[in-house]
A and B are shown apart, each in its own frame.
Chain A
Amino acid sequence: MSVQSVPWEVGIVGLLLLGLVTACVGVVSPGGYDGSVGVGYVGGYYEPYVATYGGWGRGYNVAPPRGGDHGDHRAPAGHGGPPSIPSRSPQHH
């Protein structure tokens, strides 16, 4: 059995082709989600157009409870009232 030498150019072409295929896979692989772009950034999201926002009227309360707003909530056993959001400002830290 004789062994033939392969021109070095063929080896380089093979390596480049391999690299090209690998890079292409890296570019397009994170599909399946319309927020992925270019290099496959995972973020952003286009909603179905049926999504609706707002539209509620007065009395539909969406804010967090504030200080002293303990009310008569039904808290889990062993817990006090619902907490509020942080109040410290960075300047006072």
Chain B
Amino acid sequence: MSVLFDRTRDPLRGLLVLLALTSCSVALAALPLDLPPVSTPASTEHHPGKVIWADLVTPDLGADESFYGGLFGWTFQIIHTGDSDYAIALLDGRPIAGMLQKAIPAGEKRRPAWLTFIAVRDVDAARAIAISHGAKVMSEPKTYAGRGRQAVLADPEGAVFAVLASASGDPPDFLAAPGDWIWSASFERDPKQSATFYKAVFGYDVFDLPSDDGAEHVILSSDDYARAAIHTLPSDHRQPHWLNFIRVVDAVATAAKAVALGGRVVVEPYVDRHGGKIAVIVDPTGAAVALMEWSETDTKVEPK
């Protein structure tokens, strides 16, 4: 080693070694992320418009692992990404979400949020359609081995979501198990106009739901299944956003446990239109998720 770094004897050789070492370390950091597939086992199914993944960026990965692990029974597989960690959340050994450790930029008033990933066959085509209908690109399309190709967009009202062309196909249409994502909704100032946007991008069928609460509620469906809803943004909300729902057996007990684990309840459990209870909680870092009870008999007869 002393010969290698003896720059007084051969300055060019010393520079060469230094450059080689630097190049190797940078190249290692630049290795492409190999993320696990969304569908395990791999599926041959494709369900454009289905919510198939969720990501959380958090300033405290350890706190969120404890919270979501304790609340929903998730386990975690850590992937090192150079200067950060990305935790794959598993439910019964199946990947269902990702959590990314990253500090909130100093001086910026921001907070963590779950990002909703919606299935598409062609990310670039979806991006182009979305832009032509008023969307903004938050992150350009990028391909990850195992996962597939994804991009992050903001709809015309500013609600942020992601599109994902899964390399392993889309998960089959099963009823979500307790602890898994079961439903998603976007809260917008003009639900009907937003529905037009999402229909254009994902090819949804759109259904208005009757309402006596002074708000508009729209169901987005594909393959004869309800995939998501769009609701009128509550008056005290300033930023349109997506919200994802996790199936629970007992919303009251889960909300209480969330508080015990360091979270907060922002919508107390109440009975919704389907007869089960809904609640909204916030994790210790400030990200919101909704809880939804759903019994086996809650679902309509399967489409033929």
Contacts and interface: CB of A to CB of B under 8 A. Distances in A.
B94 to A, nearest CB: 10
Given A35-B100, A35-B139, A63-B274, A43 B175 contact: no
A15 B183 CA distance: 52
A55 B210 CA distance: 21
B300 A47 contact: no
Contacts, number: 287
B226 A82 contact: yes
A54 B233 CA distance: 10
A62 B205 contact: no
Interface of B: 12-13, 15-16, 19-20, 22-23, 26-27, 29-33, 55-58, 81-84, 86, 98, 100, 102, 104-105, 108-113, 115, 117, 138-142, 144, 150-152, 160, 162, 172-177, 182-183, 185, 205-213, 215, 217, 219, 221, 224-226, 229, 231, 234, 236-239, 241, 243, 266-267, 270-276, 278, 280, 282, 288, 290, 292, 294, 296-303
A12 B19 CA distance: 10
Highest count of chain B CB atoms <10 Å: which of A19, A62, A74, A90: A62
Given A12-B16, A43-B150, A66-B298, A85 B111 contact: no
B282 A47 contact: no
Given A68-B300, A85-B183, A41 B100 contact: yes
Contacts of A79: 205, 207
A36 B251 CA distance: 34
B267 A51 contact: no
A83 to B, nearest CB: 5
Contact of A37 (B102, B185, B274, B292): B102
Given A30-B142, A37-B83, A47-B160, A76 B206 contact: yes
16 contacts: A13-B16, A38-B84, A44-B55, A44-B58, A47-B110, A47-B111, A47-B239, A53-B241, A55-B236, A64-B226, A65-B226, A82-B219, A85-B176, A85-B183, A85-B226, A87-B302
